[in-house]
Amino acid sequence: MKIKKFVFGHYEYNYVIIRENRKSLGLTVRPDHGIILRAPKSAEQERIETFLRKKWLWLEKQIKYFKKYQKNTYEKEYVSGEGFLYLGKLYKLKVIKAKEDNVSIGKGIILLKTQSRVSNGFRNKKILENWYLQKTIEVLNKRYIEIQKNFKYPFVPELEIRKMTKRWGSFLSRKKIYLNPELIKAPKTCIDYVITHELCHMKFKNHSSKFFVLLKSKFPNWEKTKEKLELLLGWQVKT
């Protein structure tokens, strides 16, 4: 892993290059604006520079995206006006006083009703987190049942929702599949991709060439969907 500099016109980027056993070049922008380039071990610098020149506009867009939504992502106070992701869309939170706690969603608004003060961020957070958890269980289970139909396995592992810091999903020895609750913030296509990925491990445990052939047959645009998932949620993790 090395830190290198790329200059294109008046644009200048520092990036980390990681050389791996792979054929293609891959680029990731982290929420802290760090740039990671994954390259084949044999890739020459000229090929890397050409790739970066083609990607410079994309790089600028991603960095601007994270700057725009950084406050929404990291400094939540759970009061009216803040933005929250749900199934790939950014909604504005509106908190109002009510006789009972409740959350509803529609027309670009997440409406949070609270019996407490509307400025009570601690209580608002609890109410919203409970709503997210209910929706996560509902949506992920529904998508899991639907995606299973594409495989026709004689049996399928049990689904469990678990917080993970380094994975969107995980396959455990044909007994259980874990999904990260953060997926509720992503579009259903991204959720479907992660579920498909994990179900492919029922047949091929490792990320072999046969595994990716199967994944491609079940989810043809998986590369673009994976990139969209990483961009939207702002972090790159394994499946």
- Mean pLDDT of the residues in the chain: 87
Residue 126 makes CB contacts below 8 A (sequence gap 6+) with none
Is the CB of residue 145 less than 8 Å from the CB of residue 159? no
Distance of CA 91 to the CA centre of its chain: 17
206 CB-side CA count, 13 A = 2
Residue type, 29: V
Residue 216 CB neighbours (<10 A): 13
pLDDT at 2 over 90: no
Is 224 or 100 the better-scoring residue by pLDDT? Answer: 100
Q: Give the pLDDT confidence score for residue 217 in this predicted structure.
A: 96
| Residue 61 CB coordination number (10 Å) | 11
- Could you tell me if 34 and 27 are in contact, meaning their C-beta atoms sit under 8 angstroms apart? no
How many whole angstroms separate alpha carbon 27 and alpha carbon 23? 13
pLDDT of residue 238: 46
Q: If pLDDT is split at 50, 70 and 90, which confidence band does 152 have?
A: confident
Sheet with 89-97, side-by-side order of all strands: 83-86, 89-97, 109-114, 102-106
| Statement: residue 21 has pLDDT above 90 | no
For the stretch 91-122, pLDDT in tens is 999 999 999 999 999 989 999 999 999 999 99
Q: Convert the pLDDT of each residue in 34-88 to its tens digit.
A: 788 889 989 999 999 999 988 888 888 888 776 766 545 456 889 999 889 999 8
Unique residue bearing structure tokens 């673009």: 224
Q: How far apart are CA 96 and CA 193, in angstroms?
A: 36
Alpha-carbon span 138 to 41, nearest angstrom: 43
Q: Side-chain half-sphere of 158: how many Cα atoms within 13 Å?
A: 5
Residue 14 or residue 125, greater confidence: 125
Domains of the chain, CATH where assigned = 2-72 (no CATH), 83-233 (3.30.2010.10)
pLDDT score of 235 more than 80: no
pLDDT at 155 over 90: no
Beta 26-29 vs 11-20: how paired, if at all? unpaired
For residue 236, what pLDDT is reported? Answer: 45
pLDDT confidence tier of residue 1, bands split at 50, 70 and 90: low
Model pTM score: 0.70
The DSSP secondary structure of 122-178, one letter per residue, reads HHHHHHHHHHHHHHHHHHHHHHHHHHHTTT--SS-PEEEE---SSBSEEEETTTEEE
Q: Is the pLDDT of residue 234 over 60?
A: no
Q: Looking at the predicted structure, is the pLDDT value of residue 159 above 90?
A: yes
pLDDT value of position 213: 95
